[in-house]
Amino acid sequence: MIEHTLTVAGATVDARHWIGGERVASAETFTDVSPIDGCAIGEIARGTPAEAAAAVAAAKAAFPAWAATPRAERARILHAVADGVEKRLEELAIVETTDNGALLRSHRHGVMPRVAHNFRFFADWLLKLEHEDFDTRGHTNHVSWDPAGPSVLITPWNAPLMLATWKVAPALAAGNTVVLKPAEWSPLTASLLADIAAEAGLPAGVLNVVQGYGSEIGDALTSHPDVRRISFTGSVPTARRIAASAAAHLTPLSLELGGKSPLLVFADADLDLAVDLAVEQYDNAGQVCLAATRFLVEEPVAEEFTRRFVEKAGQLTQGDPRDEGTDIGPSIHPRQLEKIDGFVRRALDAGARAVVGGHRKDGHYYAPTLLTDVAQDSEIVQEEVFGPVLTLQTFTTEDEAVRLANDTRFGLAATLATGDRERAERVTARLVAGTVWVNCFFVRDLQAPFGGSRQSGVGREGGSWSFDFYCDLKNTVTAPNGWSQDHG
């Protein structure tokens, strides 16, 4: 007999889909495994195209009423969702740590508070969203943001709830209804979000959650003629399949596809700061799309930078992410661990040198790694590893630094360490990246546009850019003095 509810670290999680305001089971399940110890958490409903179609139908049925709901009421409900997140913050934190292996202290103090903030931010932004009317030869132009319709949101496993709500919150604020498909390696907090949203008063069908494998239900979601928007965070190959699937109905896409971002360290940088920024790239066991995994260090300071980095990295504690003293947890899944190890082994075989790590540890853990003696055209420099694996190269001139930084097919982010303001301005102007951090890292404001260049993605979200994507923008042009009657 299939158990529909799971007990996860003392919390109760429903393992079924959430469709049209009701829990829906599937005939088959898949096993959710904790990366902390490799033990099974439980069986999760394994969606089929039938459940995917039912979720889209529920979203379509709920759309007219939700789209017509006044902005202030939509904002009120989103704030109520944020209240629910804050009320259940500890539960969400421990469930997500169990599910994806990220640090519990980060979930408690950073990630889950940010989930609540995502809802509050877009609720508030909705209420001030406007464009000043403008005149064209006496005619009045009025710009409005019309809800687009059912939106399919496909989210990754590395920060499941936060990255899901970066999409869910603006889509709902815009007046769209949502079908959320969480990653199969970390589905649990999406199910809890459905409960929280229902308790907050979100009408049935406005948010639907369908679990399962993308290979089995992805096309049923992304090729559906009633879907009006698709937002995806994940790999380039999957994005290509989604784009091909969406092409039949020209469904607009927003794609955030990871990267191979550089950290440029110039000789005039504060080396202590640069090393702190470098070690920070091991955050979440390297499972961060924005991570600056390629260190480009000016030759005069490369030796000292490396020495300080090795010393500081050696102070990190890797282990159980539920322990307050842990700095690096596990990789999420045996397949991901095997992928990481394969990258490193091939790099070492090609002549790279591991000055830190370079090997697997017990369980789902991979040692924090820094590789030197790597060629610019090598796989380890060009391809996203998505694990705690960094490379170090040197440069001699500013032009060379920029050339190396831009010499991949990605363009998501870049980080720059320098003590020269004019150099920072020159270099950042030349970097191909959606976000550039100067003497800092991972400062992320929802007012700012977020997305990547080249194969790091298509489009931007955040602030008004999110509403531009999730809405159909309309310009209404009204002639002067054309009224047969005026109701005053």
Mean pLDDT of 361-389: 97
Considering the candidates 91, 184, 289, 461, report the single residue annotated as catalytic. 289
The pair of structure tokens assigned to 62 is: 């709920």
Q: Identify the CATH homologous superfamily for domain 5-257+452-475.
A: Aldehyde Dehydrogenase; Chain A, domain 1 (3.40.605.10)
- Residue 483 confidence (pLDDT) above 90: no
pLDDT 10s digits, 352-369? 999 999 999 999 999 999
- Residue 486 confidence (pLDDT) above 70: no
pLDDT 10s digits, 206-231? 999 999 999 999 999 999 999 999 99
Average pLDDT value over all residues in the chain: 96
Q: What pLDDT does 341 receive?
A: 97
* In the chain, % of residues over pLDDT 70: 99
Could you tell me the residue ranges of all domains in the chain?
Answer: 5-257+452-475, 262-438
Q: Which residues contact 330 (CB under 8 A, 6 or more apart)?
A: 35, 36, 101, 285, 321, 363, 364, 365
Q: What pLDDT does 487 receive?
A: 61
Q: What is the CA radius of gyration of the chain?
A: 24
Mean pLDDT of 289-309: 97
Q: 205 with 69: CB under 8 angstroms?
A: no
Whether 256 is catalytic: yes
Confidence of residue 2 (pLDDT cuts 50, 70, 90): low
Q: What pLDDT does 488 receive?
A: 53
Q: What pLDDT does 417 receive?
A: 98
The pair of structure tokens assigned to 298 is: 């000016």
**Tokens 């899944």 sit on residue:** 333
**DSSP assignment letter at 202:** P
The pair of structure tokens assigned to 172 is: 């709902």
Q: 370 with 310: CB under 8 angstroms?
A: yes
Mean pLDDT of 31-35: 96
Q: Considering the domain delimited by 262-438, tell me its CATH architecture.
A: 3-Layer(aba) Sandwich (3.40)
Considering the candidates 51, 91, 96, 256, report the single residue annotated as catalytic. 256
pLDDT 10s digits, 127-173? 999 999 999 999 999 999 999 999 999 999 999 999 999 999 999 99
- Residue 54 confidence (pLDDT) above 80: yes
| Amino acid identity at 428 | T
> From its phi and psi, is residue 451 left (phi > 0), alpha (psi between -120 and 50) or beta?
left
- Residue 3 confidence (pLDDT) above 90: no
- Residue 482 confidence (pLDDT) above 90: no
pLDDT 10s digits, 322-335? 999 999 999 999 99
Q: Which residues pair with 198 in a beta bridge?
A: none
Q: What are phi and psi of 137, to 5 degrees?
A: 50, 45
The pair of structure tokens assigned to 126 is: 């909705």
CA dist 190 and 211 (Å) reads 9
Whether 289 is catalytic: yes
- Residue 1 confidence (pLDDT) above 80: no
Q: What are phi and psi of 142, to 5 degrees?
A: -125, 120
